[in-house]
Chains A and B, each alone.
Chain A
Amino acid sequence: MPKPETVQSRLQAAFPGARVEVTDLTGTEDHLQALIVSPAFAGKTRVEQHQMVYEALGELMSGPIHALALTTRAS
């Protein structure tokens, strides 16, 4: 299971300068909540923004993380 810190640093690396907050909702490291505020999201639909996040997380999404509640915005 990925630690919230792992997800946090992965997102921080993918979205330089972004505000990233990852919370472990259940204390079991598989139901996470993430807030990402990045100028990279400007002009993108929510689906596109979330696709960018999923791409950054790559293999973490195909197993270790069961649920990720995402909030993304440009500013």
Chain B
Amino acid sequence: MGDDLRTRIEGLLQQHPVLLFMKGSKQFPACGFSSQVVQILKKEGVAFETFNILADDDMRQGLKEYSKWPTFPQLYVNGKLVGGCDIVTEMHHNGELAGVLKG
């Protein structure tokens, strides 16, 4: 991955404490797994930003390498990968996610 892309990713992560890289947008998710994480973040009542990786293929490919995580959605809190749909859903149900989001 190029340095430019890495800088862009790190810039976004610095700018947004809770950032969801997803397929589609918050208003119009393009995938069931992405939609599920949006719903969970709404229920957690936290401010969050989303980034549509379908509209930016460089970012889509770069993030897979950056995070060693091949699928989307990817939820980051304070620059750290929390997980994809499965992990986020489990953490929402067992209360761990609320703790991470309070960070």
Chain A window 41-75, contacts with chain B (Cβ cutoff 8 Å), 1 for yes, 0 for no = 00000110011001100000110000111100000
A-B contact count (CB 8 A): 28
A61 in complex: contacting residue of B70, B81, B83, B87, CB < 8 Å: B70
The residue of chain A having its C-beta at the shortest distance from the C-beta of B32 within the complex is: A67
| Inter-subunit contact A54/B70 (CB<8 Å) | yes
| Inter-subunit contact A50/B83 (CB<8 Å) | yes
Which residues of A are in contact with B by a Cβ distance under 8 Å?
Answer: 46-47, 50-51, 54-55, 61-62, 67-70
Which residues of B are in contact with A by a Cβ distance under 8 Å?
Answer: 33, 64, 67-71, 81-84, 86-87, 90
Known pairs A47-B87, A55-B68; list 19 more (Cβ under 8 Å).
A47-B69, A47-B82, A47-B83, A50-B69, A50-B83, A50-B84, A50-B87, A51-B67, A51-B69, A54-B68, A54-B69, A54-B70, A61-B71, A62-B64, A62-B70, A67-B33, A67-B71, A69-B86, A70-B86
